Structure 1
Amino acid sequence: MRIEKKFNVISLIIIAVFAAAYVAFYFLAHHLFEGTTALMLCLAGCLAIAIIALIFLKKYVTKNIVLPLKNIHSGSSAIITAINEGNFNNRIDIKTEDEFEDLADNFNRMSSVLQTREAALKDVSEKEQNVIRSLTMLSEMMGFITSELKFESILQTFLEMTRSLLKAEHSGIFIFEGESKKLKLFKTTIKGNAPVSLDCARAMLAGPLGKAAKTSSVLRINEATAEFPPDHPAVRNFMAVPLRSSKNKMSALLVTINKNGGFTLDDEDTLFSFAFQAFQSLVLHEVLARLAVTDGLTGLYNHRAFQEKLSEETNRAERYFKTFPLIMLDIDHFKSFNDIYGHQTGDLALEEISKIIRNELRTVDFPARYGGEEFIIILPETGCDGAVIVAERIRRAVAEHQFMSESGERLLLTISAGVACYPTDAALEEDLIKKVDKALYFA
């Protein structure tokens, strides 16, 4: 040990000096004096040498043992206090080139190790908290999905939860239809004076965001402005995560914008784990909701959905003094058609007529299968004359269409149409349906 070695050297030096001084005083005293006087002088000299040696030893011990111990004591106390306060930067600075310096270095290394461990534990704790927050929000999201009927309301809540989960300023989602990747819907949490339009959304998809959507690859950029159009609010950083439903019925690109410090790989994992599960539930909700209001054969709205829409449109027209017409369509001699060519050919004919009806209508119009071979259409914000034109256009398109039997035989079908208007022909829903049915009967 280095301290022990130092003490051995000092001890040998003191003993050697003391012995040499004793011999020197002994010969000097006996050369100059005799008897008791010589002995007393010799002892006095040795005592003086001993006192000097003790003074030297005290200074040495103070410098090399006492002061380092004091520094270690005060330094270790300061380190412990700082660690309790979360500060791991305090250090003990001792340069003695012995075990005291090693002891101080051990304290310093211990502080560094604790700092590393504390950072690791903090990181693990933050990850666990993120997982817990993600699971909690996912649970809340599932509850909201089961209680809310409107898909867009659910989507808006999903975006707010996403933004909150990553502590970002904004979030948005692009919804695409199936494999076509055609933009179906765009939603964002951006509000106020600078809302993001659908045109702005399409412009964003012309850049790297569109590439991320097509290649299904995550895009995480912490210094970016070029990917967003000029009319979009300022963007410091963003992350885009592609999402796809099972069986490719729907896909999406989820974008989070502006997070202090930028987005990390952990943010990517957190967002994906939350968003993927939530998106599957969103798509399932949309599919189930659509099935609940859709006719299984034709893909048009069913009778129940029509009744709800008619009630909604009647209330709106009454409140704002608007008018709207109903068109009822019936396939001529369809029972005979089924008897001759079979129900499978009849079902194919119903599907094709439904496609013709959709192609001749606007997106705001509401076509439904009323029952059997009858169809009914609500035309919001349209006059009676306009409804007659639409009905005639559909009638002509069906008459000109060539239907096919299972054997490949070309077939022709015609339809009849009746029109009635609210409130001109009737002010009550039931009466309006009776009026349009009567108009169809006399067509």
Structure 2
Amino acid sequence: MINFISSFIILLFILFTCITIQILTLYFYKRKTLAILEELFSIKPSLDLDKTLPQILAVIKKLFKPERCSIMLVDDTDKMLKIKIGDNISTTAMRKIKLNIDEGIAGKSLTLGQPVVVKDISKSKFYNRFFSSEKPVKKEKLIVLPLKIDDKNLGVVNLHFKPNTRFPLSYLDKMLLKLLSDYISRMLDGCYKYFDVVSDSMTKMYNHNYILKRLEEEIELAEKFQSKLSLIMIDIDHFKQINDKYGHQVGDKVILTISRIIKNTTRFSDIAGRYGGEEFCIILPNTKLTDAINVAQRLKNNISSEKILLQDKQQISVTCSFGVKEYEIGDTVEEFINKTDKLLYQAKLLGRDRICY
């Protein structure tokens, strides 16, 4: 009888302990859920992608405290995953790395629609095949969160942690991460819908009106914080002759090629758009003239070295002329653009395929 009572008491104690642990676990996850929601709701409403992404990244860093993290989005032009913004990620990696939607760990996460955990990326065949050419892959834990709306793949969030970081993915952990990725996905979807309104339908770059709006905002910031601001105007050389000789389809291909090179060469913080026809414009916040000239030089080299393949397997090359100007305090949007445009016109007069500043 005594043994039975003792066993019963022990059983009650175990049951009570299990229930207590479950209650504490649920309480912990409730607090964690509220913390995630509180941080997500702190993001200032904006349909502008380049204003929303830095806020999302800041929230992710605050919530999870990763060693480094990045957000990769599907590029509309070539349907490849590319790093749009990152923390503690090299500029070279951000420009160079691009993946097929179904490739690697990111592809697995998007296919499953669930977070994927890699305990040690240095042992991952994919990581070693793709990244070891630059430098040895560090021993890190990786969590990849999918960003998608229904069946539409938007991108992924990559979270890198130290090897000894404890991050067990229980069912409730996965629910919280799913909540986070769903919320971010809906924010991004709203940004994309807004981008359709403010972008050029052919190149998927910002359109003329949006460039003017953003330039006005950047001028206000430059004057308020006494920061540097530069502008690059670009015009395709002999574009009319290209259209007349090869036809408008080739002309469109040239414009698309130039827009792709501009997107791949500029930083995330730069605002690049199609200003009109064969003319492009790049706003460079926090950038002095010498740095803007370096950007223009890289663009000039990348454009002139590009071979554009025609239907008959013939290849053509094109060049561009550049006007580069640093903002002068007191200038209006129109004055800033006119001064830069005059430098572009000067580059044309001097023989094209050059940079004037």
Q: TM-score of the superposition, structure 1-length normalised?
A: 0.51
CA displacement at 1:375 relative to structure 2: 0.4
Q: Does 1:116 align with 2:17?
A: no
Query: What is the identity, as a one-letter code, of the residue corresponding to 1:306?
Result: I
Asked if structure 2 preserves the Cα contact closer than 8 Å seen for 1:357 and 1:367, the reply is: yes
Alignment partner, residue 269 of structure 1: 171
Output the CA distance in 1 between the equivalents of 2:84 and 2:305: 32
Q: Does 1:418 align with 2:323?
A: yes
Q: Secondary structure at the match of 2:318?
A: coil
Change (3 A) 1:155 1:127: same
CA displacement at 1:277 relative to structure 2: 3.2
Output the CA distance in 2 between the equivalents of 1:264 and 1:281: 21
CA displacement at 1:109 relative to structure 2: 3.4
Q: Secondary structure at the match of 2:232?
A: strand
Match of 1:243 among 110, 124, 145: 145
Alignment of 1:362-441 (within 5 A): 365-379=270-284, 380-383=286-289, 391=296, 394-395=299-300, 398-399=303-304, 401-423=306-328, 427-441=331-345
Q: Which has the higher contact order (CA 8 A, sep 6+)?
A: 2
Match of 1:217 among 95, 108, 117: 117
Output the CA distance in 1 between the equivalents of 2:277 and 2:331: 27
Q: Secondary structure at the match of 2:219?
A: helix
Output the CA distance in 2 between the equivalents of 1:436 and 1:365: 17
Asked if structure 2 preserves the Cα contact closer than 8 Å seen for 1:213 and 1:253, the reply is: no
Alignment of 1:14-413 (within 5 A): 102=1, 104-133=2-31, 135-137=33-35, 139-140=37-38, 143-144=41-42, 147=45, 149-162=51-64, 171=66, 174-175=69-70, 177=72, 185-186=86-87, 216-217=116-117, 219=119, 241-246=143-148, 247=153, 249-253=155-159, 255=161, 268-283=170-185, 285-286=187-188, 289=191, 292=195, 295=200, 297-298=202-203, 300-319=205-224, 321=226, 324-334=229-239, 337-338=242-243, 341-358=246-263, 365-379=270-284, 380-383=286-289, 391=296, 394-395=299-300, 398-399=303-304, 401-413=306-318
Change (3 A) 1:338 1:146: farther
Q: What is the identity percentage for the equivalent residue pairs of Structure 1 and Structure 2?
A: 25
Change (3 A) 1:369 1:268: same
Output the CA distance in 2 between the equivalents of 1:393 and 1:158: 33
Gaps of 5+ in 1: 1-101, 163-169, 187-196, 203-211, 221-237
Output the CA distance in 1 between the equivalents of 2:37 and 2:268: 35
Change (3 A) 1:313 1:278: same
Q: Secondary structure at the match of 1:217?
A: strand
Asked if structure 2 preserves the Cα contact closer than 8 Å seen for 1:323 and 1:422, the reply is: yes
Change (3 A) 1:338 1:138: farther
Change (3 A) 1:370 1:244: same
Aligned residues: 291
Change (3 A) 1:118 1:184: same
Output the CA distance in 2 between the equivalents of 1:315 and 1:183: 25
CA displacement at 1:310 relative to structure 2: 2.1
CA displacement at 1:419 relative to structure 2: 4.1
CA displacement at 1:325 relative to structure 2: 3.8
Structure with the larger strand share: 2
Q: Secondary structure at the match of 2:117?
A: coil
Change (3 A) 1:173 1:281: farther
Change (3 A) 1:301 1:174: same
CA displacement at 1:355 relative to structure 2: 3.5
Q: TM-score of the superposition, structure 2-length normalised?
A: 0.60
Change (3 A) 1:389 1:119: closer
Query: What is the identity, as a one-letter code, of the residue corresponding to 1:433?
Result: I
Q: Deviations over 1:130-151 (max 9, x none)?
A: 4544554555455445836532
Output the CA distance in 2 between the equivalents of 1:239 and 1:399: 42
Output the CA distance in 2 between the equivalents of 1:388 and 1:128: 57
Asked if structure 2 preserves the Cα contact closer than 8 Å seen for 1:145 and 1:285, the reply is: no
Asked if structure 2 preserves the Cα contact closer than 8 Å seen for 1:174 and 1:254, the reply is: yes
Query: What is the identity, as a one-letter code, of the residue corresponding to 1:274?
Result: L
Output the CA distance in 2 between the equivalents of 1:198 and 1:181: 13
Output the CA distance in 1 between the equivalents of 2:68 and 2:38: 19
Asked if structure 2 preserves the Cα contact closer than 8 Å seen for 1:323 and 1:421, the reply is: yes
Change (3 A) 1:341 1:254: same
Gaps of 5+ in 2: 74-79, 94-104, 109-115, 121-139, 349-357
Asked if structure 1 preserves the Cα contact closer than 8 Å seen for 2:232 and 2:340, the reply is: yes
Query: What is the identity, as a one-letter code, of the residue corresponding to 2:219?
Result: T
Output the CA distance in 1 between the equivalents of 2:141 and 2:173: 10
